[in-house]
Amino acid sequence: MTDQSDLDLLRQWADGGSETAFRAVVERYAGLVFGVALRRTGDRPLAEEAVQNVFADLARKAPALAGTRRPLAAWLHRCAVYESVTLLRREIRHREKMRRFAETPPAAESAPDPWPAVGPLLDEAINDLSDADRRVLLLHWFERRTFASIAELTGDTAAAVQRRGSRAIEKLASLLRRRGVVIPMTVLSAGLASQLSQAAPPGLAPAVAAHLISSLPAATGAAGFPTSWFQIMASIKTVTAVFLCAAALPVGIQWAVTAPDGKPPAVDRTAPAPPPAAAAPVRAFDPSLVQQALQRLTANPDDYGSQLELRRLMFSLTPEEIPAVRALLMGVPARKKQHLYEVAHALFARWAELDPAAAADAALALPKSAFGYYPLRGAFVTWAFSDTGAAWTWLEQTGSDPFDREFIGGEALAGIAADPSKFFTVMERVESMSDHAWRNKLKYWVVRASPRAGLEWALALSDEAERGQWVPQALELAGAREPEFALQRMGDIENTARRAEAAHNILWPWLLERDARAHRHPPDMVDVLETQVGSWPPTLFRDCGDALTRHDAATALATVNRLPDGPERREFVQGMLTAASFSDAAALLPALGLLSDEDLIRRGGLSHYTGVLVRQNPQAAAEWLHSLPEDSQVHQFAEPHFTEVTGTTAAAYLTRSPK
């Protein structure tokens, strides 16, 4: 059947139920649909499910498609994109629900306070953020500035600053997780202000200032300050030591004796110093306690507190204790090891902090059936953050399989390149690699980690083919986070068809996630869609009409009425008609008057819309048809659809006797 056209095969299936014909269509286009779905979702099971759903939809709609001249490949491609977005949204919601469940302790127990574990690691993690992220984080959570006031300082919009603040919290939570402390982003965001705004001990600030000023020469001002940083630090250390010693005394004794002028008396430096306090006894490491904790966790995998405590413990181990804990983990029954993936990740990350090469070698030697990729990821990513060159040399020289190298190498480089200031250094390392296939895969990881920097890198490529590949890729990745920025940069894509495809891939998922009825300040690009006329391709207005109608028909009608007459408004109305089945089709009747009879019929939206309207509200459909002149093209086109569904004409339907 390879010589038969797509429409012939569809007619054979639609008219006679020819399974051979339908199987030929599926075999002809399954690769196209699967490729689209796999690129959109990045998940093979989801892609396979998308293939099933798309061809099931084709089987149902074959009678309508067989009567058109629309290329089947284009129809299947668009359906595959939409179906992939739908499945991906469902999967994201499911994973988010599972994540929230995993972060929620059992009802009978109160959630452990994560801040005691976060405290010692918080400032180190903040220091690892990029300058821009750290600045926004400190201005908002430490200085308690609003995002609007920060925007005035930085010259950005308040929305952009707010997004950067959210990403800074997300990166901070990720850095803490890498150090073995898991804290939900909501908890981190809510408690960060109080952690950063901790008050200094009473009197410390004025004492430090007074001590510094008293140490100056007679000259005042900037010229009088010590020119050496070591002089300043010596002064600060001196006065800080005094306050730390004072803080160690009981509160009732610190300032009990005062001179007549209210000042503490002078210290008698001839008195013998008190004996040093005895050091607290150090508890010896007890493997049996670790084993008991492992048994509790494997018996109750949902015990969030036990898992968190075990992961914290991993990061406190000494080199001598790591082999014993590793043996305990390996001794857990195979069927229960799946509950200890994160613990194994933390153990090998800690091992890599102490001896990275040994940790990576040991992780590579473990069978994947034990803890999957978690040990190798923990060891290598930790090593790469501290010494990228040595870690990368090890990875290139190992005999690990290609997926190992791509996955853990990509994750490590992506984590480093998330700081835009390190992006080009990482990319230089990737471009120096001799393995072409591996190099291209790693480029994607790096660009995905920092799409804005990736766009600037792609625009500077001298090879036209490479530039044509990576500029759209970088913009699509940037669009997943910042759709407005990405759509404003669409002109950077040189190929017109690729530009339209990338714009759709950026706009459509964002439109589906966006709450059409929410009030935003300042308004986003869809709230003021009329300002995009002339700058966006008209096909994007079809996406907007479709998505806004799915959310809320009233919002879509209000938007289309603001658009000037032209191709953009016509495309928007066609999108509204396409989405009629997702809303009240009768509410969209006013939009039909914005198109000519020829536009309504020629573009195909009227056929779909009429069928939906008749099924949803036959009374409204009959009244609409009755209001049209009988010799109008729309009436003559839509009347047969009405008769096919109801079995009678619109006029007869309106005059029928009530039952």
Residue 561: per-residue pLDDT: 93
Provide DSSP, 526-551.
TTTGGGGTTTS-HHHHHHHHHHHHHH
The token pair that represents 306 in the structure block: 């036990």
| Residue 506 · residue 484 · CB < 8 Å | no
Return d(Cα 75, Cα 46) in angstroms, integer. 20
Rg (CA), the chain: 33
- Contact (Cβ atoms closer than 8 angstroms) between residue 504 and residue 476: no
Pick the CATH number of 115-194 from 2.30.130, 1.10.10, 1.10.3470, 2.40.10: 1.10.10
pLDDT exceeds cutoff 90 at 286: no
109-118, 133-142, 196-205, 425-434: range with highest mean pLDDT: 425-434
pLDDT band at 549 (very low <50, low <70, confident <90, very high): very high
Domain with CATH 1.10.10 in the chain: 115-194
pLDDT of residue 267: 41
Which has the closest alpha carbon to 585: 627, 613, 615, 560? 613
With a pLDDT cut of 90, the percent of the chain lying above it is 18
pLDDT at 22 over 80: yes
pLDDT at 7: 81
76-85 pLDDT, tens digit per residue, is: 887 888 888 8
pLDDT tens by residue, 588-610: 999 998 888 888 887 767 888 99
**Residue with token string 């990228």:** 388
CATH 1.10.1740.10 residue ranges in the chain?
6-103
Cα–Cα dist 580/348, whole Å: 54
In angstroms, the CA 543 to CA 397 distance is 49
- Examine the pLDDT at 455 and tell me if it is beyond 90: yes
Please state, as a whole number, how many other Cβ atoms lie within 10 Å of the Cβ of residue 462.
6
How long a stretch of residues is the chain?
659
pLDDT tens for 362-417 read: 988 888 788 888 898 888 888 888 888 888 888 878 766 666 667 777 878 888 88
pTM above 0.75, yes or no: no
> 227 pLDDT exceeds 50?
no
Question: How confident is the model at residue 564, as a pLDDT?
Answer: 93
Q: Lowest-confidence range among 180-194, 295-309, 570-584?
A: 180-194
Share of the chain above pLDDT 70, in %: 78
Span 267-278, pLDDT tens digits: 444 444 444 444
- Please state, rounded to an integer, the average pLDDT across all residues of the chain: 77
pLDDT band per the 50, 70, 90 thresholds, residue 16: confident
When pLDDT is averaged across residues 41-56 and rounded to a whole number, the result is: 82
The CB-side HSE value for 571 (13 A sphere, CA atoms) comes to: 14
204-217: average pLDDT: 43
C-beta of residue 421 within 8 angstroms of C-beta of residue 458: no
The residue among 7 and 68 whose pLDDT is bigger is 7
Query: Phi/psi class of residue 604: alpha, beta or left (left: φ > 0; alpha: ψ in -120 to 50)?
Result: left
Residue 539 makes CB contacts below 8 A (sequence gap 6+) with 500, 504, 571
pLDDT at 246: 32
Can you tell me the mean pLDDT for 292-317? 82
DSSP assignment string, 25-42: HHHHHHHHHHHHHHHHH-
pLDDT at residue 451 above 70? yes
Of 21, 20, 1, nearest in space to 9 by CA: 21
In the CATH scheme, what is the code of domain 6-103?
1.10.1740.10
pLDDT of residue 242: 32
